[in-house]
Chains A and B, each alone.
Chain A
């Protein structure tokens, strides 16, 4: 039986991929990209989960035996920031595209041919 975390994370990745592949509106594609990144982050974090343990913070009474794996949390922290940076850049490019082409339909944005 596949764990609900893995199932949910992979479903999110697939939903995001579906949106990127089928939508024609640029903003919807970017939403798909964000959903996909969220799914990946969830997958990463659930890889490090150990059932029944707490957050990996060294406090009174907490030992390495009672904490979940801290490495995926560091990875996800980095990946979230990278995802936000990519999204911000993509949105500025989308604004620029709308100003130049007056549309966000990717079928109509076709200046480059060859």
Chain B
């Protein structure tokens, strides 16, 4: 098949989102099955792109309108993008299935549209090769995320959405100022060409532009000073949307940040920005873990835990040796799987009993054994116990930090795991050893999804080599900037 068909990854969700109002005329019962179907097709296309990229070893370059970059916009679906587009599509498909159970408030057609646009925005952010196009996709993601956060129309949901809108507005303004600085000094918006010209840029301007871009993207990526919206939004948004935030919206922001910063790898501005990312990441881990300790709302606790994990990933990128980047990408994938499972299971409990408060988890082991089992596996995995997937990524992160002699980071990772152990074992204790009650019939489809994710966690935990090979290729795509530039066919520009 022609590789240009990979543009369907963007076109399909966009077109399907526009069709939702027409589908609504056929009755509101068909909207959620339609959403499931679209996300299933998206998964198929993403799987095709994934197979194509990993068998040929060459990235898919989609040229918008046939114009060669840097005149036209190009999509760059390399090893990293192919992997993450697949993860986005699969998680979206699972969440579309979950929505049938979890979303029963009106207007359901708007929910479906925003859901598709959120998926589109995240896919675009990861696939694009143009910095302004990245901004546009980031805003698509952000605006659908604002609207989905406030979707429940309760006071809390509106409050969380308002915080997110204001912080996101400041962030996108900063980002745009950074873009203006880059464009003003280099005269190009194409990422590959920016990388090529980066060494010619005035180091002070480059540092200021990068700092602005990092701060702008830190809102989406939930790094410390700008992540105040995240726990509120996770708590107040619909359960399926929380999964999407944690599993891929954050990762798209983090990826965009790392992609842009690594373009400046060989310039004097690079080290300063890495230190900034390291400091932000470390603070994110500390604040996230300590806040998670004293939560009684389980969804909020998971939100803080999720923020802390993002901090660990950022620290990995801040160390920036090839080993550390490998480990950080591995942690990104593992965290996406585990948090999809955890938020799905907790959301299911909240749908069944009305709220995700810790009271409702008493005796869950007797009432909903399968869901309780899923939460337990997820929790044990996040702590980083051997034979589960996150053990390997945390271990690799430790090794990478030791290699460059950063003992502070080793202490940070171990300390974070210790704090995680405290609050996750408290949750597990509540689930299995307190309270009691009648057994409740669990939904078959959701049980299958949860078991699939549990199986994935354990399989990666026992046989990490297969996925490790994929991860290494994906990470090389991130830090090997020379190769990235070489792969983009720039018109009339010779390196």
Chain B residues with Cβ below 8 Å from A82 are 136, 139, 143, 172
Contact of A47 among B146, B155, B184, B291 (CB under 8 A): B184
User: Given A93-B161, A112-B235, A112-B236, are A85 and B173 also a contact pair (CB < 8 Å)?
Assistant: no
Cα distance, A13 to B154, chains bound together (Å): 32
Chain B residues with Cβ below 8 Å from A55 are none
CB distance from B131 to the nearest CB of A (A): 10
Is residue B162 contacting chain A, with contact meaning CB distance below 8 A?
yes
Contact of B143 among A43, A72, A85, A100 (CB under 8 A): A85
Return the 6 tightest CB-CB contacts between A and B, nearest first. Answer: A100-B155, A47-B184, A96-B158, A33-B169, A111-B156, A82-B139
Cα distance, A79 to B176, chains bound together (Å): 9
Cα distance, A17 to B238, chains bound together (Å): 31
B183 near A20: Cβ-Cβ < 8 Å: no
CB distance from B231 to the nearest CB of A (A): 7
In chain B between 181 and 230, which residues have their CB closer than 8 angstroms to a CB of chain A?
Answer: 183-184, 189
Is residue A90 contacting chain B, with contact meaning CB distance below 8 A?
yes
Chain A residues with Cβ below 8 Å from B177 are 13, 40, 43
A36 near B189: Cβ-Cβ < 8 Å: no
Contact of B150 among A13, A26, A93 (CB under 8 A): A93
CB distance from B158 to the nearest CB of A (A): 4
Chain A residues with Cβ below 8 Å from B161 are 93
Is residue A78 contacting chain B, with contact meaning CB distance below 8 A?
yes
Chain B residues with Cβ below 8 Å from A33 are 166, 169-170
B153 near A114: Cβ-Cβ < 8 Å: no
A86-B143, A94-B162 given. 13 additional CB < 8 A pairs? A29-B166, A33-B169, A36-B170, A36-B173, A40-B173, A47-B184, A71-B189, A78-B132, A89-B146, A89-B165, A93-B162, A109-B159, A111-B155
Report how many residues on chain B are interfacial, defined by Cβ distance under 8 Å: 39
B159 near A114: Cβ-Cβ < 8 Å: no
For this complex, 11 residue pairs linking A to B, each with C-beta atoms less than 8 Å apart, are A75-B132, A78-B136, A86-B168, A90-B165, A90-B166, A93-B150, A97-B155, A100-B154, A101-B155, A111-B155, A114-B235
Cα distance, A86 to B158, chains bound together (Å): 14
A97 near B139: Cβ-Cβ < 8 Å: no
Chain B residues with Cβ below 8 Å from A110 are 159
Is residue B431 contacting chain A, with contact meaning CB distance below 8 A?
no
Contact of A100 among B132, B158, B180, B189 (CB under 8 A): B158
With a 10 A CB-CB cut-off, give which of B136, B189, B291 has the most chain A CB atoms.
B136
Cα distance, A40 to B212, chains bound together (Å): 13
Encode A79-106 as 1/0 by CB contact (under 8 A) with B.
Answer: 1001001100110011011001100000
B173 near A13: Cβ-Cβ < 8 Å: yes
B232 near A97: Cβ-Cβ < 8 Å: no
* Secondary structure call for the A interface: helix
Closest A residue to B236 by beta carbon equals: A112
Is residue B119 contacting chain A, with contact meaning CB distance below 8 A?
no
Q: Which residues of B pack against A, CB within 8 Å?
A: 132, 135-136, 139, 143, 146-147, 150, 153-156, 158-162, 165-166, 168-170, 172-173, 176-177, 179-180, 183-184, 189, 231-232, 235-236, 291, 295, 297, 300
A97 near B159: Cβ-Cβ < 8 Å: yes
B176 near A40: Cβ-Cβ < 8 Å: yes
Cα distance, A39 to B170, chains bound together (Å): 12
Cα distance, A44 to B165, chains bound together (Å): 22
B180 near A47: Cβ-Cβ < 8 Å: yes
CB distance from A112 to the nearest CB of B (A): 5
Cα distance, A40 to B183, chains bound together (Å): 14
Encode A3-42 as 1/0 by CB contact (under 8 A) with B.
Answer: 0000000000100110010000010011001001101100
Contact of A112 among B136, B146, B165, B232 (CB under 8 A): B232
Cα distance, A109 to B170, chains bound together (Å): 20
Cα distance, A26 to B159, chains bound together (Å): 11
Cα distance, A79 to B231, chains bound together (Å): 28
Cα distance, A79 to B173, chains bound together (Å): 9
CB distance from A30 to the nearest CB of B (A): 8
Cα distance, A111 to B232, chains bound together (Å): 10
Closest B residue to A33 by beta carbon equals: B169
User: Given A20-B166, A82-B136, A89-B146, are A111 and B173 also a contact pair (CB < 8 Å)?
Assistant: no
B176 near A44: Cβ-Cβ < 8 Å: yes
CB distance from B94 to the nearest CB of A (A): 27
CB distance from B291 to the nearest CB of A (A): 8
Chain A residues with Cβ below 8 Å from B173 are 13, 16, 36-37, 39-40
Chain B residues with Cβ below 8 Å from A90 are 146, 162, 165-166, 169
CB distance from A64 to the nearest CB of B (A): 14
Cα distance, A110 to B184, chains bound together (Å): 42
CB distance from B458 to the nearest CB of A (A): 32
CB distance from A24 to the nearest CB of B (A): 13
Cα distance, A85 to B180, chains bound together (Å): 21
Chain A residues with Cβ below 8 Å from B295 are 114
Closest B residue to A106 by beta carbon equals: B162
